Structure 1
Amino acid sequence: MTLTSFGPANRIKRSAETHPLTWRLRDDGEAVWLDEYQAKNGYAAARKAFADMAQDDIVQTVKDAGLKGRGGAGFPTGVKWGLMPKDESINIRYLLCNADEMEPNTWKDRMLMEQLPHLLIEGMLISARALKTYRGYIFLRGEYTTAAKHLNRAVEEAKAAGLLGKNILGSGFDFELFVHTGAGRYICGEETALINSLEGRRANPRSKPPFPAAVGVWGKPTCVNNVETLCNVPAIIADGVDWYKSLAREGSEDMGTKLMGFSGKVKNPGLWELPFGITGRELFEDYAGGMRDGFKLKAWQPGGAGTGFLLPEHLDAQMYAGGIAKVGTRMGTGLAMAVDDSVNMVSLLRNMEEFFSRESCGFCTPCRDGLPWSVKLLRAIENGEGQAGDIETLLGLVGFLGPGKTFCAHAPGAVEPLGSAIKYFRSEFEAGIAPVSAAVPPLARPIVVGA
């Protein structure tokens, strides 16, 4: 997929001043290789970081810029970097790029890796310098075969140019970078499950604390950042904190720009780099072009399958973490999905919960047993065979699997869309409840536990 083929985005000029992530993209969608990347000021930020900045100054600059994680959690990047140990005697440290992009309806990292692989490498190189990590891994979703091919070629180009390997830019700093393709598990998006998988273990999340900054890959200090997060680092170093903060819209508490998109039956489905604080309505109408003829917007998700549903009247919310929180859900990955008026919400939720149930690592009871239970109930309601109390049971599961009730955030993300769908479209769930037959005594009905 190319960024340049989606409707109104074609008419917006991308520049280094306004689009730090995407201004180097080619109009034909082909990858930008080393010579072209350097001709477009590529690796200038890395040279500045190596020649003119102390390692702690790089960390402080990223912290001052307000960069937050772009994978969905939104944790401040500079704060995470600051958790890495200062002890100089610890000479083995790792930098991990989380490129296991398996969130349904999300493909932003794929675009960056396929078309701008050197931007990610430069971001990791600067980050490694700041964190004193001598080895890095890009943990890549196994299905992203084109991204793997392009990243491996870019790594070899960078090695040949002296930008990776030993004594980088004559600084005495060494950094090796490897592309590691995963086996295809959604749970690997959780950073400690990713670490386990990289080590060859079963992809279960780890207990925290200790956090990866203290005990990570093979027991050594490790920093894990998302692809888009790392791709923001070169522009921050090159152009400074004040410029980066100025990119966001007034009122946004998140700084810089964000890759945002819209899919579903919209006229111009696509992906664009936009300032934090733009409204959902601008994204939906000005960029995605609104709904296709013959379809009406029924609901939308702001950032992947693990975010709650919103209604059309919520489109005026600003697209940043706090703005979306005001209308009751999370920003997530920032790639929205439009649900049209032909879609039955019960069927949609049954499909979603089947995915989340299948992708559970099975480690903790609420997630392992609760998600299949939700699928069973939704399937019955979808077939018109739901029983009295089933909706209350589903709402009970939303509570039992919510934040703080499970070992990791997989189950809370899985049930968030379920709770919001029942909240806004309860009548569609009620339509699947079969009437109790007069021939069946009330005491013969199953007792609903936890309703």
Structure 2
Amino acid sequence: MPVTPVLTARWKVPGIWTLDTFVDHGGYDSVRAAFDLGPDDIIKMVKDSGLRGRGGAGFPTGMKWSFIPQGDGKPHYLVINADEGEPGTCKDAPLMMIDPHSLIEGIIVASYAVRANRAFVYVRGELVHAARRLRNAVAEAYRAGYLGKDILGSGFDLDLVIHSGAGAYICGEETALLDSLEGRRGQPRLRPPFPATHGLYNSPTVVNNVETIASVPFIVNNGVEWFRSMGTEKSPGPKIYSLSGHVTRPGQYEAPMGTTLRELLEMAGGIRGGRALKAWTPGGSSTPMLTAEHLDVPLDFDGVVAAGSLLGTAALMIMDDTVDMLKVVRRLTQFYAHESCGKCTPCREGTTWMVQILSRMERGQGDPSDINTLTDACDNIFGRAFCALADGAVSPIVSGIKHFPEEFAAAAQPRPADPAQGSSNGVATGPAALAGAH
């Protein structure tokens, strides 16, 4: 597929994070165009473009905007989810760091479309430098009249707040993010009602990802057909793919939706050291792992689902043939156990128990029943929690057992204790003692 940078086109421009340089390169042109079009026409344009949310779910952006009730007498809010905490995901941070005005431009257009006069960017707490860049860019935009009262004489008012989180992965879930923004503990809400009608401060709210909103000005400037000329029919447009792990040149690679891992690896110089590909995640650690058999799967929302996984945030963690899959799965499960907010019993208790079983297997104290126990635990966690964290927590385990059954079966067999070590603290360590230990 031909690669034409869109979102990353300005990343190599010196000083593009300053307002003057950004405007010199066509920045904020879409704001004037949007004011000429009107809110309803912008929503229709985004809907017709087929832009789907780049934060993981892939929900049609224009449709989400159209859910906001009009003439309801309530304030409307736009909230940007920049709480990029998914392991392997690192696309929004450089976008905010290098080209912050592109996000602000998209926020102005989107806020005008959904008739929101107040917008928030919820930035992951660890992204200190990106948040600083954003705040400086916001100050510049206020001084230049792109934010505040009567923007460019349009009669439209917009205030923008940059809010840094406190390092909680769960706040990447949109309703937990809204609770955190309101000053409460970040925990997911039961839905319905949905944020479109009862979001921030119980008012209509649109929650979008950074990359999604940054795409909007390009659609307004270049049109629907231009956007649909890239990608696939059901997943049009460009996408930033994050390659990390055992790859020669890790980093951000912008390509049309539907690009394959084989093509991305060619851009990135292949697997590090010329080794063989063993496993990879198409959308971060919460998406089921795939193998070398899936090198030619089109990386769009529907193509990856057909292969048995999810595109998610398009965070491709590459693992070569030296990787111990049990160790990978244990570490990822440990992450989700640590980041569980504790609201749901299946997630809170289940992840902790699964870490204990995987850790015991890793120590050579496995039991033949462990595979069934893990599988049953995953079945009882999946789909039984308030949010998708629980579903993401079981993905590494289920896909690991599915694609690498021999490794897990071997780990489920207790290894004989080292006679030289004997027992520790008076506790027997032989096979008979360990076989039933959980």
| Category of TM-score, reference length = shorter chain | over 0.9
Distance 1:447 1:351 in 2: 21
User: Residue 82 of structure 1 aligns with which residue?
Assistant: 66
Distance 2:288 2:357 in 1: 19
What whole-Å deviation, never above 9, does each CA across 1:384-434 have from its counterpart, x for those lacking one? 1011211111111221122x3221111101111210111111211122224
Counterparts of residues 217-366 of structure 1 (less than 5 Å)? 217-249=200-232, 252-284=233-265, 286-293=266-273, 295-366=275-346
User: Residue 416 of structure 1 aligns with which residue?
Assistant: 395
Shift of 1:296: 2.2
Residue 165, structure 1, aligned to residue 144, structure 2: no
What whole-Å deviation, never above 9, does each CA across 1:353-399 have from its counterpart, x for those lacking one? 11011101111111011101110110011011011211111111221
Q: CA RMSD in A?
A: 2.1
Distance 1:79 1:405 in 2: 27
Distance 1:247 1:303 in 2: 20
Q: Is the 8 A contact 2:240 2:253 kept in 1?
A: yes
Distance 2:414 2:314 in 1: 41
Alignment partner of 1:136 out of 119, 126, 143: 119
Name structure 2 gaps, 5 residues minimum: 417-427
User: How high is the sequence identity, in percent, across the aligned residues?
Assistant: 47
| 1:46 partner amino acid | V
Q: 1:447 to 1:348 in 2, by over 3 A?
A: closer
Alignment partner of 1:427 out of 401, 406, 422: 406
What whole-Å deviation, never above 9, does each CA across 1:304-359 have from its counterpart, x for those lacking one? 11111111121010110111112110011112011111111111111101101110
Question: What SS does structure 2 have at the residue aligned with 1:277?
Answer: coil
Distance 1:383 1:175 in 2: 57
Alignment partner of 1:37 out of 8, 11, 22: 22
Question: What SS does structure 2 have at the residue aligned with 1:237?
Answer: helix
Shift of 1:263: 1.1
Q: Is the 8 A contact 2:248 2:270 kept in 1?
A: yes
Distance 2:431 2:114 in 1: 68
Distance 2:243 2:7 in 1: 18
TM-score w.r.t. structure 2 length? 0.93
Q: Is the 8 A contact 2:81 2:210 kept in 1?
A: yes
Shift of 1:32: 2.6
Q: Is the 8 A contact 1:46 1:126 kept in 2?
A: yes
User: Residue 4 of structure 1 aligns with which residue?
Assistant: none
Distance 1:355 1:416 in 2: 13
Shift of 1:435: 4.2
What whole-Å deviation, never above 9, does each CA across 1:174-203 have from its counterpart, x for those lacking one? 100010000110100110000000111011
Residue 93, structure 1, aligned to residue 46, structure 2: no
Q: 1:441 to 1:163 in 2, by over 3 A?
A: closer
TM-score w.r.t. structure 1 length? 0.90
User: Residue 371 of structure 1 aligns with which residue?
Assistant: 351
Alignment partner of 2:107 out of 112, 121, 124: 124
Shift of 1:31: 4.5
Shift of 1:261: 2.4
User: Residue 369 of structure 2 aligns with which residue?
Assistant: 389
Distance 1:441 1:227 in 2: 52
Residue 155, structure 1, aligned to residue 167, structure 2: no
Name structure 1 gaps, 5 residues minimum: 1-11
Distance 2:242 2:260 in 1: 12
Shift of 1:27: 5.2
| 1:356 partner amino acid | Y
